[in-house]
Structure 1
Amino acid sequence: MTHPGPDAGDRVALACPSCASDEATVHEVLKPGGNVTVRCTECGHVHKERYDPPREIELDVVVSQGDESLTTTVDVPAADTVEHGDEFVVDTAEAIMQVRVTAIELADDRRVEEATLEDVETLWTRAVDNVRVNVTVHPNDGRRDDSRSVTVSVPGDHEFVVGDTADFGDEEFEITGVQVRDDAPEYRFEKLDHEGDTVFAKDVKRVYARDVTSTAWSAW
């Protein structure tokens, strides 16, 4: 598979002779070609370098969104690694979506937490830019049999805050707790129920709430 070199204005990682470091720094391409003219964004030094773009492979990606799923392919650098929970953009015929890795499947059907992309057979993902969140709403009088389940559609970066009152059209409820998804990073606990605890919609497994039209009652 042949890949073109970078265009003017692209950014590439190269060693800078002026920075006197073996570590690659970000360079802006000023003039493309076999030997590209680049400017180091760290020190501003302009120099020519041979730049060979990383080898890319075509990778199968399954994207789940609600009860539906689709399969597409993406071109990725073969030597890069992927981890469970990583996010990236997928450009499909249906839409451009931000997705999160939920499973990494190798050629022998084995699933791992991390792998080099060249070794990956399929990436299983779910869309996180727009999500549907399940909410269990309890009445304030404590009658669990009268609890109801509703689903709200929100952007992935919408925040659910414990203690806040949420209003979605005909639905209005006070959030009493949030159950966090297994693939969601950087949360203290699987369930959050302290006032002010905040969870992005893309990280929510279920929201627990109470009907604001009844008397006080807690689901937690």
Structure 2
Amino acid sequence: MTDATPGERIALPCPACSPDVETVHEVLKPGGHVTVRCTDCDHVHKEQIPEDTTLERDVVVSQDGDSFSAKVDVPEEETLAVGEEFLLETEEAIMTVRITSLETAEGREDEASAEAVQTIWSRAVGNVAVNVTMHPKNGRHDETESFKLQVPGDYEFVVGETDTFGDEEFTVEGIHVRDDAHGYEHEKMDFDGDMAFAKDINRLYVRDETSTAWSAW
């Protein structure tokens, strides 16, 4: 990365506050030894940044039922896998996406080297639309309502807990997680205390807790 430009942000260890773990640095002055500033402690220091060999790969991003294509530079030695997340920078925005499939010359794979990958299939997980099926308080399934809820991808839904979004108030009764979600023991969860992140949820089953004012007069 010898072509670093002023204002660019790169990951480097900071000799002042984080010598062993990389932190975000801002490039102040490019050159053979780049002048950088740690964004955590403002320490300014010079670093020689080795040139990375990267491969440009196509990315298809699915977001709220739509999809678009972009490009991403992947380190040549990198191994990619379904379920991994990375930051994708486009002209419109910087977003977090999760790999859902890897297309190679041999077909779709769950894991492949960057060199073998032709297209990275992914979905946006920074902000997501969660499918919700809501049952009324009286339990009548013929009055079941379905809708989508826009929330941050890291929002936690917990079985047995009540959530409020605008005019909607409901108690989570069950969670069905996505195929590309990792770290969950079961695909379907319905025990109190079971938790899943919004970005991992395929469908949320809830009970309506909205109180409706009424009068007998």
**TM-score class normalised by the smaller sequence:** 0.7 to 0.9
Unaligned ranges ≥5, structure 2:
14-20, 35-46, 212-217
State whether structure 2 residue 119 is matched by structure 1 residue 122.
yes
Q: What is the CA–CA distance in structure 1 between the aligned matches of 2:57 and 2:112, rounded to whole Å?
A: 13
State whether structure 2 residue 82 is matched by structure 1 residue 84.
yes
Q: Are the counterparts in 2 of residues 5 and 52 from structure 1 also a CA contact under 8 Å?
A: no
Match of 2:181 in 1: 184
Match of 1:206 in 2: 203
1:145 CA drift (Å): 1.4
Q: What is the aligned-residue RMSD (CA, Å)?
A: 3.2
Q: Percent identity?
A: 49
1:48-127 to 2 correspondences below 5 Å = 52-108=50-106, 110-127=107-124
Per mean C-alpha deviation after superposition, the further-off stretch among 132-141 and 120-129 is 132-141
State whether structure 2 residue 210 is matched by structure 1 residue 195.
no
Q: Are the counterparts in 2 of residues 138 and 209 from structure 1 also a CA contact under 8 Å?
A: yes
Match of 2:166 in 1: 169
Code of the aligned partner of 1:150:
F
SS in 2 for 1:63: strand
Code of the aligned partner of 2:108:
R
Show CA shifts across 1:146-190 (max 9, x none).
101021100111111111111111211111011111111101110
Change in 2 beyond 3 A, CA 1:127/1:12: same
Match of 1:159 in 2: 156
Q: Are the counterparts in 2 of residues 140 and 210 from structure 1 also a CA contact under 8 Å?
A: yes
Change in 2 beyond 3 A, CA 1:140/1:128: same
State whether structure 2 residue 141 is matched by structure 1 residue 147.
no
TM-score normalised by structure 2 residue count: 0.76
Q: What is the CA–CA distance in structure 1 between the aligned matches of 2:33 and 2:96, rounded to whole Å?
A: 34
SS in 2 for 1:145: helix
Aligned length: 193
SS in 1 for 2:115: helix
Match of 2:214 in 1: none
Q: What is the CA–CA distance in structure 2 between the aligned matches of 1:33 and 1:168, rounded to whole Å?
A: 50
Q: What is the CA–CA distance in structure 2 between the aligned matches of 1:76 and 1:192, rounded to whole Å?
A: 36
Match of 2:38 in 1: none
Unaligned ranges ≥5, structure 1:
14-24, 37-47, 215-220
SS in 1 for 2:70: strand
- 2:128 is matched with which residue: 127, 131, 147? 131
Q: What is the CA–CA distance in structure 1 between the aligned matches of 2:139 and 2:73, rounded to whole Å?
A: 53
Q: What is the CA–CA distance in structure 2 between the aligned matches of 1:162 and 1:206, rounded to whole Å?
A: 13
Q: What is the CA–CA distance in structure 1 between the aligned matches of 2:69 and 2:140, rounded to whole Å?
A: 43
